[in-house]
Chain A
Amino acid sequence: MTETISYVGLPKFEIEVPNSLEEALNLLHIHQTNCKPLAGGTDLLVDLRHRLIQPNVIIDVKNIPELKKLEFTPNELTIGAAVPISEVLTLSQIKTYYTALYQALNDMCDEILRNRATIGGNIATASPAADTAGPLYTHQAVVEVQSKSKGSRLIAIDKFFKGVKKSDLAPDELIVSINMPKPTINTKSAFMKMKRGAEDLALVGAAGSHNQEHTYLGFTAVAPTPVFLDISNLIIEKKISENVFQSIWKEIDSKISPITDVRSSRDYRIHITEILTRLILKEIIL
């Protein structure tokens, strides 16, 4: 990233404001890699300012009804890609049924940015530290994307991230919504994050969920992409002995490859991952 402290204006671009999904998909189809969708802009405007991206066209997707949907039905929760996090948090069922997601959203970025930042944007950026990734996996989220060329398709969240800031989205595809099934009774989930200060990025993020059939774990900031594990087969009884924990840890350890950076060293990240895993398992299983 360019170290820019003094004022640099944004690069030149044109703005399009489609009022329907069809209109937006047409624009994406025409402009392909020369355009970027704008929802909350909390990542996009920073990337523009630092010249990490220089699209000719910015497509503001905030007027599209499908992307503004926020709905909890008996079967599932649908969060439109352009719904600000502060609005998502107003839905009482988030706290009741999707605890891990609630805990992540409630502590994400800061109180002011949550009025603009969106879950759609968080996963579209595909940062290895994307706070919502772990909780979305533990809630078995499916991302609905659309494009003019391929129509609608559903991507399971564990197939969405492809690398550092790389996702499965084609240039002409737009995230429409994030969908999560209603969890069965007795499902418990939790999210924890280690960070330096109130509004810092995660050193390590960990999420987990457990019910009689399944136990899922999701980690962020420990590999080029978020790391997801289905450890259902390792949970034999409603108690985690040290032996069972070691077998779980062996699986996690083989999948994570944290880096050393300004926030923490590789070894410290591995240590924190182990601690957070123990805490999460205690929270969701015992």
Chain B
Amino acid sequence: MKKQITLTVNDKIHEILIKSNETLLDILRNHLRITSVKAACWQGDCGLCTILLEGVPIKSCLVLAYEADNKRVITVEGLSIEGSVSKLQESFINNGAVQCGFCTSAFLLMGHYLLKQGKPLERKEIEHLLNGIICRCTGYKQIIDSILAVSSISSE
């Protein structure tokens, strides 16, 4: 059975015809061709398909597409105006937080979410809060450094 859903992705409204057994990840990659949302483990372990749904990070492989009907999705493309980078993205560049790049969009979205909570963050806390996303290049230190750098600037 097909169903029409309305999905707002990075402030752009889409009307999409979905099948009941499609996940939000299927829709983002296959229908909207947003390939920054990575598909890897398909079982909620790796965290690379993380997106913000109504502002909250979720793993899109474990959400049915229909559950996102009339909701707002933000992917990494929504973190900055085209042609520019956000403070956090700049921090990732400065700290060399990108190795192969496959996990980068997920970590940027999670980092963006954590910074948006407005609370000062400590290294140990960030380490714990990032436990849902895996970087197999194992460059966690630089990723944490990047988030910590922006967190300490904004709390000054």
Chain A interfacial positions (CB closer than 8 Å to B) = 4-5, 7-15, 38, 41-42, 45-46, 49-50, 58, 60, 62, 109-113, 115-116, 198-199
Contact = CB atoms under 8 A, between A and B. Distances in A.
B143 to A, nearest CB: 14
A41 B57 contact: no
Given A42-B44, A46-B44, A110 B21 contact: no
Nearest to B53: A115
A199 B132 contact: yes
B21 A12 contact: yes
A113 B1 contact: no
Given A14-B20, A41-B62, A41-B63, A7 B132 contact: no
Interface of B: 1, 20-23, 26, 39, 41-45, 47, 50, 56-59, 61-64, 66-67, 110, 128-133
Given A112-B133, A198-B131, A42 B62 contact: yes
A111 B132 contact: yes
A17 to B, nearest CB: 8
B39 to A, nearest CB: 7
Contacts of A15: 20, 64, 66
Contacts of B131: 110-111, 198-199
B12 to A, nearest CB: 24
B21 A112 contact: no
B21 A9 contact: yes
Given A14-B20, A110-B131, A199-B132, A115 B44 contact: no
B64 A112 contact: no
A9 B1 CA distance: 15
A11 B41 CA distance: 17
B9 to A, nearest CB: 19
Given A110-B131, A116-B63, A7 B39 contact: yes
B132 A112 contact: yes
B92 to A, nearest CB: 19
B42 A112 contact: no
B21 A13 contact: yes
A11 B21 contact: yes
Given A10-B22, A12-B20, A198-B131, 5 more contacts: A41-B67, A42-B62, A45-B61, A110-B132, A198-B128
Contacts of A4: 42
Contacts of B44: 42, 45-46, 109, 113
A45 B23 contact: yes
Contacts of A58: 20, 64
Nearest to A47: B43
B132 A13 contact: no
Contacts of A60: 64, 67
- Nearest 3 A/B pairs, CB to CB: A110-B132, A112-B132, A198-B131
A22 to B, nearest CB: 22
Nearest to A10: B21
Contacts of B58: 112, 115-116
A104 to B, nearest CB: 15
Nearest to A114: B132
Nearest to A11: B21
A269 B45 CA distance: 24
